[in-house]
């Protein structure tokens, strides 16, 4: 564990923003004596810093009101030595004189600019975020750290409190005269390199920014430029993602818009009539904060318009069809272009616009759409089951790749159970003989891998696998299942008989409960394990080589102890040859949730968003 990573986790912990993966890692550090020592040192150091800064600020008498006790605080006010009356009087005289000069300057400034045509009001985002100074803050080890160069001029703001950048700030375009005008309370320049260059003299383009790029992954663009986290999103701009892309935009009011892969959103706006956008194709997840009265968020597609007051929903658009799935709240869904037919879709319902059918809100979000890009295997007990009596001889792959699972030997064929959970069927494996074979292939995982399994494991099965690809002599296995313990979920990869490590989550597999398990392998080899949508472990393993894997097994391991076959019910398996984005993964988990669990009594640990 690097010091940088510890620092990062400590800071997130301090801000109360540890993710599940962070938490697991942070706990694993704190479980070591060295980690606890580092924590105690770090905490004491920060407390000392805090104290020194507090004392220093009080001494400078320039601190904000937060140095004084808040209203209702139990804190005792810091006693600050009173100034001599004479000194106070002199300061007051000086302040009055300064105010008079300031007023005169302001009047002169106003007169000289009166003849100019009014400038349009525009909103600007804060300056493009830059990395902190890459060099240490001191010039040499014996010299004091240099002051960062002057920061770019900023708009006046409330004393000592710059406006939050997420709120598009309304400022007038800067001009030389304005920049020289006295500022009532100049914001301290941030410690970074100046943005001012000779180009800064050129007139700037004005734009209204509706939000900020909060997170991204893979191919993600703002207009035709690669998106960058922290960058403002200009009004009217388009957002797009590639096959492996993901992009999240946060609005000033906290609303979020997440784009799944292969998605294009155009004309993003936020004006007097509310927020707006056009989903051209793909899928977006929207988490809308409560919108002001008369200013709803309106998202349109070619077929429909969704009017939002404050809710969570998924909107997906493809050629000829738009589908709305509402997770929370309510959305008015209106067919376009006539806009005469509309329906209010409430939580747990969906509606589809397309063709000429009536616009209807239907119960159930069971059909939350699993992304299809990169889907290599999709086995589900409610589709494609080929029975031989009550046993299953083949399980037809529902993806486009045709990786169907087969079992020729009757004694090794699992049973089909029509109502195993929530009215849904499952395949029942006996843990002694039953398993499936998969076709050769599964060769290209350069973009990562994501695997999902919904199962109800029986007790035991210490070495049983969900999936074990390439069990042959070349030893390029991709393994997802249990290892060394019936409750220990694991995922690991061999590359030419070598592995960088196995990622395991002890206590993850609970016997006799329906659970979803998933593993997400990023292209670099980093793995995150999930149970019921929540991250439960992370680590590194080898990156898979691109080779034709064979033979491939489902629910059986050829290595390990005697309990190498899965015992229990299997409902569904999805395998992607890419790392799904966070949004996409949450779609799949939400799909499982709606399909296999009673929404009124979800599992205690259930977290469809994984957040």
Partner 1 sequence: MILERDRLIREFQRDRLRLIAYIRSLIGDADLTEDIFQEVSVVVLQKADEFSPGADLQAWCRGIARNLVVREREKSRRLRAFSDLRIVELVDAAFRENAGRELLDARRDLLRKCIERLAAPSRELLEQRYHLGLSLREIGQRLGRTEAAVQVGLSRLRKWLSDCAQRRAESGAEASA
Residues from 107 through 166 that contact partner 1 (CB under 8 A): 125-133, 136-138, 141-142, 144-148, 151, 162, 164-166
For partner 1, which residue of 8, 440, 444, 487 counts as binding (CB under 8 A)?
8
Tokens linked to 126 = 């804060």
d(CA 495, CA 493): 7
Q: Nearest approach, Cβ of 484 to partner 1 (angstroms)?
A: 23
Long-range contacts: 203-206, Cβ < 8 Å, 24+? 203/173, 204/173, 204/174, 206/120, 206/122, 206/124, 206/173
Of 42-50, 201-209, 435-443, 526-534, the window that binds partner 1 (rule: CB under 8 A) is: 42-50
Q: Which stretch binds partner 1 (CB under 8 A): 32-40, 239-247, 280-288, 450-458?
A: 32-40
Only one residue has tokens 């196995």, namely 502
Report whether 397 contacts 404 (CB < 8 A): yes
Footprint of partner 1 on 218-237 (CB under 8 A): 229-230
Least Cβ distance, residue 552 to partner 1 (angstroms): 38
CB of 47 to partner 1, least distance (A): 4
Interaction of residue 30 with partner 1, rule CB under 8 A: yes
**Closer residue to partner 1, CB minimum distance, 29 or 367:** 29
The closest alpha carbon to 585, from 246, 152, 279, belongs to: 246
> From CA 158, how far away is CA 243, in angstroms rounded?
44
Nearest to 569 by CA among 382, 438, 372: 382
Q: Mask: binding to partner 1, 183-202, rule CB under 8 A, as x and -?
A: -----xxxxx----------
Nearer to partner 1, 147 or 600 (CB): 147
| Residues of this chain, 90-109, that bind partner 1 according to CB under 8 A | none
In 372-414 the beta strands, taken as DSSP E runs, fall at 375-380, 385-388, 391-395, 405-406
Could you tell me the end-to-end alpha-carbon distance of the chain, in angstroms, rounded to an integer?
Answer: 23
Nearest CB to partner 1, comparing residues 37 and 484:
37
CB neighbourhood size of 49 (10 A): 10
> Judged by CB under 8 A, does residue 13 bind partner 1?
yes
- In this structure, what token pair is assigned to residue 27? 């706990």
| Residues contacting partner 1: total by CB under 8 A | 76
Cα dihedral angle (71, 76, 78, 82), rounded to 10 degrees?
A: 90
Q: What is the DSSP string of 117-184?
A: PPPPPEEEPPPPP-PPPSS-SSSSTTSPPPPPPPPPP----BTTBPPPTTSPEEEPPP-HHHHHSPPS
Site string for partner 1, 43-72 (x = CB under 8 A): xxxxxxxxxxxx-xx-----xx-xx--x--
Residues 562-581 close enough to bind partner 1 by CB under 8 A: none
Answer for the pair 449, 485: CB distance below 8 angstroms, yes or no: no
Nearest distance in Å: CB 410, partner 1: 49
CA distances from 148 to 133, 195, 393, 545 (A): 9, 12, 71, 47
Question: Which part of the chain contacts partner 1 (CB under 8 A), choosing from 40-48, 300-308, 464-472, 565-573?
Answer: 40-48
Least distance between partner 1 and beta carbon 195 (Å): 10
Of the residues 2, 33, 77, 205, which one makes contact with partner 1 according to CB under 8 A: 33
Least distance to partner 1 from the beta carbon of 506, Å?
14
Nearer Cβ to partner 1 (12/500)? 12
Segment interacting with partner 1, rule: CB under 8 A, options 20-28, 239-247, 320-328, 507-515: 20-28
Q: Quick one: which segment of 11-19, 95-103, 393-401, 463-471 binds partner 1 (CB under 8 A)?
A: 11-19
490 in Cβ contact with 497 (< 8 Å): no
Measured from the CB atom, is 31 or 358 closer to partner 1?
Answer: 31
Q: How far is the CB of 306 from partner 1 (least distance, A)?
A: 29
Q: Which two tokens stand for residue 47?
A: 């407390």
Tell me if 75 contacts partner 1 by CB under 8 A: yes
Nearer to partner 1, 125 or 218 (CB): 125
Q: Which CB, 135 or 363, lies closer to partner 1?
A: 135
User: Should residue 16 be labelled a site residue for partner 1 when binding is judged by CB under 8 A?
Assistant: yes
Nearer of residues 10 and 435 to partner 1, judged by Cβ: 10
Task: Return the residue of 19, 25, 71, 74 that touches partner 1, per CB under 8 A.
Answer: 74
d(CA 245, CA 284): 12
- Give the whole-angstrom CA distance, residue 48 versus residue 437: 62
């Amino acid at each position: 564990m690097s010091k940088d990573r510890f620092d990062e986790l400590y800071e997130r912990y301090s801000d109360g923003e540890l993710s599940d993966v962070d938490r697991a890692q942070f706990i694993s550090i704190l479980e070591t004596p060295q980690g606890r020592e580092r924590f105690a040192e770090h905490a004491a150091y920060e407390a000392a810093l805090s104290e020194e800064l507090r004392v220093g600020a009080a001494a400078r008498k320039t601190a904000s009101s937060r140095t004084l006790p808040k209203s209702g605080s139990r804190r005792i006010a810091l006693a600050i030595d009173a100034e001599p009356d004479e000194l106070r009087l002199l300061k007051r005289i000086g302040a009055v004189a300064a105010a008079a000069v300031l007023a005169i300057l302001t009047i002169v400034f106003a007169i000289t600019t009166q003849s100019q045509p009014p400038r349009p009001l525009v909103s600007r985002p804060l300056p493009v975020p830059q990395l902190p100074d890459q060099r240490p803050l001191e010039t040499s080890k014996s010299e004091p750290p240099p002051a960062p160069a002057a920061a770019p001029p900023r708009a006046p703001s409330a004393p000592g409190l710059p406006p939050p950048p997420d709120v598009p700030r309304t400022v007038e375009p800067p001009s030389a005269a304005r920049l020289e005008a006295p500022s009532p309370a100049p914001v301290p320049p941030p410690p970074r390199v100046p943005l001012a260059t000779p180009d800064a003299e050129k007139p700037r383009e004005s734009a209204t920014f509706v939000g900020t790029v909060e997170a991204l992954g893979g191919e993600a663009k703002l207009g035709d430029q690669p998106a960058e986290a922290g960058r403002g999103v200009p009004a009217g701009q388009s957002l797009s993602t590639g096959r492996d892309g993901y992009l999240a935009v946060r609005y000033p009011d906290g609303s979020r818009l997440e784009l799944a892969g292969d998605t294009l959103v155009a004309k993003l706006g936020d004006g007097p009539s509310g927020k707006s956008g056009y989903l051209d194709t793909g899928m977006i997840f929207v988490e809308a904060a409560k919108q002001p009265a008369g200013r709803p968020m309106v998202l349109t597609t070619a077929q429909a318009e969704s009017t939002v007051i404050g809710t969570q929903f998924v909107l997906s658009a493809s050629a000829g069809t738009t589908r709305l799935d509402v997770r929370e709240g309510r959305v008015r869904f209106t067919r376009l272009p006539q806009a005469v037919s509309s329906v209010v879709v409430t939580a747990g319902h969906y509606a589809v616009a397309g063709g000429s059918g009536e616009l209807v809100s239907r119960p159930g979000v069971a059909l939350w759409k699993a992304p299809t890009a990169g889907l290599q295997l999709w086995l589900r007990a409610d589709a494609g089951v080929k029975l031989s009596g009550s046993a299953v001889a083949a399980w037809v792959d529902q993806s486009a790749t045709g990786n169907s699972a087969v079992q020729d030997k009757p004694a090794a064929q699992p049973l089909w159970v029509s109502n195993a959970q929530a009215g849904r069927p499952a395949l029942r494996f006996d843990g002694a003989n039953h398993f499936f074979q998969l076709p050769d292939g599964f060769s290209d995982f350069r973009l990562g891998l994501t695997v999902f399994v919904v199962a109800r494991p029986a007790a035991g099965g210490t070495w049983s696998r969900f999936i074990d690809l390439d069990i042959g002599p070349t030893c390029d296995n991709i393994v997802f299942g249990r290892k060394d313990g019936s409750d220990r979920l694991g995922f690991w990869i061999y590359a030419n008989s070598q592995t960088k490590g196995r990622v395991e989550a002890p206590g993850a597999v609970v016997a006799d409960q329906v659970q979803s398990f998933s593993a997400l392998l990023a292209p670099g080899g980093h793995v995150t394990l999930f149970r019921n949508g929540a991250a439960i472990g992370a680590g590194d393993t080898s990156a898979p080589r691109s080779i034709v894997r064979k033979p491939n097994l489902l629910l059986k391991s050829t290595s390990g102890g005697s309990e190498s076959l899965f015992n229990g019910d299997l409902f569904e398996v999805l395998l992607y040859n890419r790392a799904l984005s966070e949004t996409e993964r949450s779609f799949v988990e939400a799909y499982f949730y709606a399909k296999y669990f009673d929404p009124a009594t979800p599992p205690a640990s259930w977290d469809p968003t994984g957040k």
